[in-house]
């Protein structure tokens, strides 16, 4: 095969220029078409970071990939990609107490395995949650877990991202709110419908523009219930991040089916393929 680590050259900001690492090809014998995978290393360090943001171009190198007659793929630009990694302006991984203001029954610590609640934190050993040893009570006026003041000066677009385990009976309430003065609170997300998480769920919400750029942003998670005696496990929160600018992937993956018509009897199975695509990655 003529496919190797000399096929593609990548150029980007600040003089970045590397050959892409050849990873694999779908079929190693001669034939067509062939799909090759390559990896592009960041300009510095081992991971892509906000300092690497910018536009990158991918070029085919001359006389690299050939057919069986010896003709080469034409050199030149194949396309490009944007790097727009959001910066983290606040992070609470819960490995240490994040110092939130916790109203009664909101707690920081290890979850206690109960019906419907998580057996462990998503990462590490601790979370912030409402009543880590049991369900929330009936007829509960809304109680909050509130972050300290967070400096977001210079930011124009903010996104909240965290891991959630939430169990809520219908007509009880859960909410997330934000404030830049501690008095006026803006709803980021709320529900009074039933929620029955049975695993840790990654969630993210764009923050209202009026919350960006403040030196005193606070976020709070709330829970309340009605007089119905049936309650549930409530909030469990882990790995909280507030991200500044950058491109946040809010679109779900797509699926494209490729399948031929079947017109002959006797086949024990019928092959098809599905290509999954996403703005960031499919897991």
For the chain, 283 residues long, give each residue's pLDDT as a single digit of tens.
799 999 999 999 999 999 999 999 988 888 888 899 999 999 999 999 989 999 999 999 999 999 989 999 999 999 999 998 889 999 999 999 999 999 999 999 999 988 789 999 999 999 999 999 999 999 999 999 999 999 999 999 999 999 999 999 999 999 999 999 999 999 999 999 999 999 999 999 999 999 999 999 999 999 999 999 999 999 999 999 999 975 566 678 888 877 777 666 676 767 677 778 877 667 6
Rounded to two decimals, the pTM is 0.75
Task: Check residue 264 and give its pLDDT.
Answer: 67
Task: Check residue 215 and give its pLDDT.
Answer: 96
The answer to whether 88 touches 244, Cβ cutoff 8 Å, is yes
CA distances from 38 to 6, 21, 198, 224, 276 (A): 11, 5, 37, 51, 18
pLDDT in tens, 166-185: 999 999 999 999 999 999 99
How many whole angstroms separate alpha carbon 215 and alpha carbon 240? 18
Q: What domains can you pick out in the chain, each with its CATH number?
A: 1-85 (no CATH), 89-244 (2.60.120.260)
Task: Check residue 250 and give its pLDDT.
Answer: 66
Neighbours of 258 (CB within 10 A): 9
How many whole angstroms separate alpha carbon 116 and alpha carbon 190? 21
Strands (E), 169-263: 173-179, 186-191, 195-196, 201-206, 218-224, 234-244, 254-259
The answer to whether 56 touches 79, Cβ cutoff 8 Å, is no
Task: Check residue 36 and give its pLDDT.
Answer: 93
Under 8 Å CB-to-CB from 211, ≥6 apart: which residues? 152, 158, 178, 179, 180, 186, 217
3 state DSSP class of 168: strand
Look at phi and psi of residue 246 and say left if phi exceeds 0, alpha if psi is from -120 to 50, else beta.
left
Task: Check residue 142 and give its pLDDT.
Answer: 98
């Amino acid at each position: 095969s003529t496919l190797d680590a000399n096929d593609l050259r990548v150029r980007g900001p600040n003089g970045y220029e590397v050959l892409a690492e050849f990873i694999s090809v779908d079929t190693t014998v001669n034939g067509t078409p062939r799909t090759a995978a390559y990896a592009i290393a960041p300009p510095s360090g081992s991971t892509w970071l906000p300092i690497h943001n910018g536009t990158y171009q991918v070029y085919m190198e001359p006389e690299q990939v050939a057919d069986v007659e010896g003709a080469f793929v034409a050199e030149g630009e194949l396309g490009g990609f944007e790097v727009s990694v959001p910066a983290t302006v606040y992070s609470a991984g819960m490995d240490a107490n994040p110092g939130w203001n916790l109203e009664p029954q909101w707690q920081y610590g290890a979850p206690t395995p109960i019906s419907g609640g998580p057996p462990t934190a998503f990462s590490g050993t601790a979370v912030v949650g409402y009543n880590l040893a049991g369900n929330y009570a009936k007829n509960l006026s809304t109680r909050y877990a509130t972050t300290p003041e967070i400096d977001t000066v210079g930011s124009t677009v903010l996104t909240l991202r965290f891991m959630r385990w939430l169990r809520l009976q219908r007509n009880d309430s859960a909410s997330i709110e934000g404030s830049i003065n501690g008095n006026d609170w803006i709803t980021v997300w709320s529900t009074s419908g039933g929620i029955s998480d049975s695993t840790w769920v990654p969630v993210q919400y764009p923050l209202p523009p009026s919350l960006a750029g403040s030196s005193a942003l606070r976020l709070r998670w709330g829970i309340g219930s009605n007089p119905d005696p049936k309650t549930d496990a409530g909030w469990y929160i882990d790995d909280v991040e507030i991200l500044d600018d950058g491109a946040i992937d809010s679109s779900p993956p797509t699926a494209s089916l490729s399948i031929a018509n079947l017109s002959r009897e006797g086949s024990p199975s019928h092959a098809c393929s599905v290509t999954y695509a996403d703005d960031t990655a499919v897991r």
